[in-house]
Structure 1
Amino acid sequence: MAVDEVAASLLYQVTALAGQVTGRMQEGLERLGLSGPTANLLWVLRPEGEPQSLRQLAALLHCDPSNVTLLSAQLEERGLAERRPHPRDGRVRTLVLTPEGRAVRGRLLAIVAKRSPFADLDDGDQRLLHSLLAKALDTA
């Protein structure tokens, strides 16, 4: 297979996997009462470590900060997250998980792990794929 064909095939595979992930996650997200975008925001909120600004979260999600503001409000309404001033710069707003938000995020990660197209790969294959995807994303 020529290099261009391999690259095209890889893009097809990644796109097909993204579609599978979306389809497999929908039922689980509905059970948690989350939309895809709110689940993505909940996913990128790390319970440990320094709080991230709304602007940083928008960059992680590849969206406009106004979208993160809207999604943040939805998570706040459900009691899953709180907007707070940054601990070192009070002018910056961050989004922090509440205890309930941590619990829902844990259930979300469990659903993802169970329903993922990668769930049947052994630990070594998952780690290898993780490494390769991280390398591809770093160069993107």
Structure 2
Amino acid sequence: MAVDEVAASLLYQVMAVAGQVTGRMQEGLERLELTGPTANLLWVLDPEGDPQSLRRLATLLHCDPSNISLLSAQLEERGLAERRPHPRDGRVRTLVLTPEGRKVRRRLLDVVAKRSPFAELDATEQRVLQGLLAKALKSA
């Protein structure tokens, strides 16, 4: 198989996996009363990490900051997150998980792990794939 054909095949496989993930997660998201976009935002809010600015969250999710404002409001209405001033720069707004948000995020990660097509891979295979994907994403 030529290099171009391998690259095309890889792209097709990645897109197919993304489609499977989306499809498999839908039922779990419905049970958690989350939409895809609110689940994505909840997912990137690392409870152990530094608070992320709304602008940074928009960059991570490849969307407009106004979308993050809307999604943040939806999470706040459910009591899953709070917008707060950044601890080192009060002019910057961050989004932080509430205790309930941490619980729902944990359940979300459990749903994803159980329904993931990667669940079929053993731990070593998952680590290898994680490293390869990280390398590919870093170069992008």
Asked if these proteins are the same fold (TM beyond 0.5), I'd say yes
CA offset at residue 38 of structure 1?
0.1
What SS class does the counterpart of residue 83 from structure 2 fall into?
Answer: strand
1:17 aligns with 2:36: no
TM-score, scaled relative to structure 1: 0.99
Q: Quote the Cα distance in structure 2 between the aligned partners of 1:49 and 1:17.
A: 28
TM-score, scaled relative to structure 2: 0.99
What SS class does the counterpart of residue 82 from structure 1 fall into?
Answer: strand
CA offset at residue 60 of structure 1?
0.2
Q: In the alignment, which residue of structure 2 is the partner of 1:87? A: 87
Structure 2 unaligned spans of 5+: none
Q: Quote the Cα distance in structure 2 between the aligned partners of 1:50 and 1:41.
A: 15
Amino acid at match of 1:54: L
Q: In the alignment, which residue of structure 2 is the partner of 1:55? A: 55
1:111 aligns with 2:111: yes
Q: Quote the Cα distance in structure 2 between the aligned partners of 1:49 and 1:132.
A: 24
> How many equivalent pairs are there?
140
Root-mean-square deviation (CA), in Å?
Answer: 0.3
Q: Quote the Cα distance in structure 2 between the aligned partners of 1:115 and 1:105.
A: 15
CA offset at residue 50 of structure 1?
1.0
Amino acid at match of 2:105: R
User: After TM superposition, what 4+ stretches of structure 1 lie above 2 angstroms from structure 2?
Assistant: none
Structure 1 unaligned spans of 5+: none
Q: In the alignment, which residue of structure 1 is the partner of 2:3? A: 3
1:28 aligns with 2:28: yes
Q: Quote the Cα distance in structure 1 between the aligned partners of 2:13 and 2:66.
A: 32
Amino acid at match of 2:19: G
What SS class does the counterpart of residue 83 from structure 1 fall into?
Answer: strand
What SS class does the counterpart of residue 95 from structure 2 fall into?
Answer: strand
CA offset at residue 118 of structure 1?
0.3
Amino acid at match of 2:119: A
CA offset at residue 120 of structure 1?
1.2
Amino acid at match of 2:57: L
Q: Quote the Cα distance in structure 2 between the aligned partners of 1:16 and 1:10.
A: 10
Amino acid at match of 2:91: R
Q: In the alignment, which residue of structure 2 is the partner of 1:70? A: 70
What SS class does the counterpart of residue 119 from structure 1 fall into?
Answer: helix
Amino acid at match of 1:110: D
1:38 aligns with 2:38: yes
